[in-house]
Amino acid sequence: MSVEQHSYVRPNKNHSTFGIPLSVLDVAPIIEGGTIANSLRNTLDLAQHSERWGYTRYWLAEHHNSPSIASSATSVVIGHVAGGTSTIRVGAGGIMLPNHAPLVIAEQFGTLDALYPGRIDLGLGRAPGTDGLTAAALRGQRRGNGGDFPELLDQLRAYLDPTRAETAMAVRAYPGEGADVPIWLLGSSDFSAMLAAELGLPFAFAGHFSPTFTVPAMNLYRNNFKPSAMLAEPYAMVAVNVVAAETDEEAAFLATTLQQYFLGFIRNRRAPLPPPVRSMDGLWTAQEKYALEQQLGSSIAGSPATVKTKLEKYIELTGANEVMIAAHIYDHTARLRSYEIIANI
């Protein structure tokens, strides 16, 4: 049973120049001086362009308590994007399952599948996607650090497919039951890689902020994969930050937005996405620069030729079946151009 038969990659999809599908990862960034409404409009605009440029899927990520991210109500934004596009797959990259009751996620994504059949993906993570206080506010009486993720995953899969349940289910998901929503496991370490391999599910790794663990996690997944009714062979996607522009110098300038953004994480300061600067000198300490280089070590910025060379090497290094491009770029027009360059290399 092939990956294509289960719509992880659209049938008859033309692969990119790199020989594998390319996809988009978005958080509907809120820029300095911008509004949430503008962010959501820009997200739909990017999705529509991405569809025309041949990207395979458009995923949105769940994060909370951040003034730079407008995709907190992830399933709502997925509906917004799916409703404004027609062929590109749209999904969650991901839903942080411990923040939610599995029944609610089954109903939400069952509804999305009913509205946009054959186009919805459900990527699941076990991290909170936020700080501890916000996680507690989200989870209410349910506490924990994601250790119950396998149990929650079993419940969710049973709601979508009751034949998986060991006993008759008194509560069932309407909508949700029988929905054709492929489940992916997301990870930034080895936990989800091993769980995805054990369950025979597709795996997506957060290489855009966890570069050190990318290759070990991808290898762990492939080496331990067990075929399932969903997937006959491993299928692994990796996310990477890519900023493309007409020249290396322009791309380096645009990429300072990403560097400032992650510098805020290191300092535990939340702020809207900042405009680029000509130099990071004076904005970071030597220690912060080193920490950022470690966290953003896989990031690519450059001209079309530079991006092509570096992305080819990255695909070879990771052995990815698909690459998901993240781009924290302040100017929307420049962000569009970056994705257009990548799609047309």
For the record, the structure tokens of 51 come out as 């569809």
Q: Within 13 Å, how many C-alpha atoms sit on residue 325's CB side?
A: 28
Of all residues in the chain, the percent with pLDDT exceeding 70 is 93
| Beta-carbon count within 10 A of 132 CB | 9
Strands (E), 143-231: 183-187, 203-205
3-class secondary-structure state, position 145: coil
**Span 271-302, pLDDT tens digits:** 999 999 999 999 999 999 999 999 999 999 99
Contact, 25 vs 93, CB < 8 A?
yes
* Global pTM value: 0.94
**Span 204-227, pLDDT tens digits:** 999 999 999 999 999 999 999 999
Bridge-based pairing of strands 203-205 and 183-187 is: parallel
Domain that holds residue 330: 4-344
3-class secondary-structure state, position 324: strand
Count: domains in the chain? 1
CA distance 301 to 283: 20
Contact, 203 vs 213, CB < 8 A?
no
Q: Higher pLDDT residue, 202 or 265?
A: 202
Model confidence at 129, in pLDDT bands (50, 70, 90)? low
| Beta-carbon count within 10 A of 83 CB | 13
Domain of 93, CATH number, reads 3.20.20.30
Residue 281 forms beta bridges with which residues? Answer: 284
| Beta-carbon count within 10 A of 252 CB | 18
Give me the pLDDT at residue 130, please: 65
CA distance 169 to 208: 39
Q: Alpha carbon 216 to chain centroid distance?
A: 19
- CB-neighbour burial class of residue 190 (10 A; exposed 0-12, middle 13-18, buried 19+): middle
Mean pLDDT of the chain: 93
Contact, 128 vs 135, CB < 8 A?
yes
For the record, the structure tokens of 142 come out as 């349910």
